[in-house]
Amino acid sequence: MNLWFRLTRLLLSRPWRRIAGPGETIVTPMRVWPLDLDINRHVTNGRYFSMADIARTDYLFRSGAYKVALAYRALPIVGDNWGKFRKELKLFQKFEIHTSMLGWDDKWVFMKHEFRREGRVLGTVIMRGVFRAGRDVLKPQVFIEALGLPAASPDLPHWLAQWSASCDALSADLRSAEQPQLAG
């Protein structure tokens, strides 16, 4: 439930938040609340992904990407997430999520969410996603051009390209598992 409160707060504060360029890192301040905790009394790993969703919404609004999405009646869809956690966040601690776009390919946009407290990176969530308009997936170039970014993506780090390829391989495995098994 507190994620709805965070989202509502974010949307209500939007008129007073600084607009940022799509290539900038956007900082979303947050605090740890009781419903964010697991039995170890620190933020549960699943909550990091949910809080990254809120920060990504902040990014969409502040970068202007939501205007492009509205024009095409498109919705953002997360394809894959990956998290790395280094230090814990505890009850009532303030922290920030630093959200940036790492780059894109012919289908996916890659984003990074760094969870920081007192200048230290505590964890990172990496996401690849698309914008879907009905059954169609909009090419990232539609957004890149509309937002005034260079047509060519920044070079993706080797580890990110490998992760994306492994996600594609897992998707292929899942699709084959969904096919009816033919009796031999």
Cα distances (angstroms) measured from residue 50 to each of 4, 20, 151:
11, 22, 30
Q: Flag whether 38 is in a domain.
A: yes
H-helix or E-strand spanning residue 27: strand 26-31
Residue 21 and residue 63 in contact, taking contact as beta carbons nearer than 8 Å: yes
Q: Flag whether 57 is in a domain.
A: yes
Tokens of 126: 């990496």
User: Residue 112: which CATH number?
Assistant: 3.10.129.10
Q: Flag whether 181 is in a domain.
A: no
Q: Flag whether 75 is in a domain.
A: yes
pLDDT tens string 61-119: 888 899 999 999 999 999 999 999 999 999 999 999 999 999 999 999 999 999 999 99
pLDDT confidence tier of residue 3, bands split at 50, 70 and 90 = confident
pLDDT tens string 6-58: 777 777 766 666 778 778 999 999 999 999 999 999 999 999 999 999 999 99
Separation CA 175–CA 184 (nearest Å): 20
Q: Flag whether 92 is in a domain.
A: yes
Q: Flag whether 182 is in a domain.
A: no
Q: Flag whether 50 is in a domain.
A: yes
pTM for this entry: 0.89
pLDDT tens string 152-166: 999 999 999 999 999
Q: Flag whether 184 is in a domain.
A: no
**Tally of domains in the chain:** 1
Residue range(s) defining the domain that contains residue 15 = 2-176
